[in-house]
Amino acid sequence: MKLICIYANYAAYNNNALRPLYNKDAPIVYAMADTALLTGGKPFFVPDCAAPCTCGAQLAVRISRLGRFISPRFARRYYDAFTVCATFTAENLFARCVTEGLPWEVSKGFDGAACVGRPVLLEDRSADAIGFRLDIDGREVQRGNTADLLRNVDTCIAYVSRFYTLRQGDLLFTGTPLPDVVVEPGCHVDGYADGQHLLSFNIR
Span 141-200, pLDDT tens digits: 999 999 999 999 999 999 999 999 999 999 999 999 998 999 999 999 999 999 999 999
Per-domain boundaries in the chain: 3-202
- Mark out the alpha helices in the chain (DSSP H runs): 11-16, 91-99, 105-108, 153-160
Residue 20 confidence (pLDDT) above 70: no
d(CA 5, CA 16): 20
**Confidence grade of residue 26 (pLDDT, cut at 50, 70, 90):** confident
Q: Which CATH code, of 3.90.850.10, 3.30.365.10, 3.30.1020.10, 3.40.640.10, is assigned to 3-202?
A: 3.90.850.10
Look up residue 24 and give its DSSP letter: S
Q: Is the pTM of this model over 0.85?
A: yes
Closest CA to 132 of 55, 187, 198: 198
d(CA 76, CA 41): 29
List Cβ neighbours of 189 (8 Å cut-off, separation of 6 or more): 44, 55, 86, 115, 134, 135, 136, 183, 199, 200, 201, 202, 203
Q: What is the pLDDT of residues 99-132, one digit of tens each?
A: 898 999 999 999 999 999 999 999 988 899 999 9
Residue 2 confidence (pLDDT) above 70: yes
Residue type, 36: A
d(CA 87, CA 116): 8
**Confidence grade of residue 21 (pLDDT, cut at 50, 70, 90):** very low
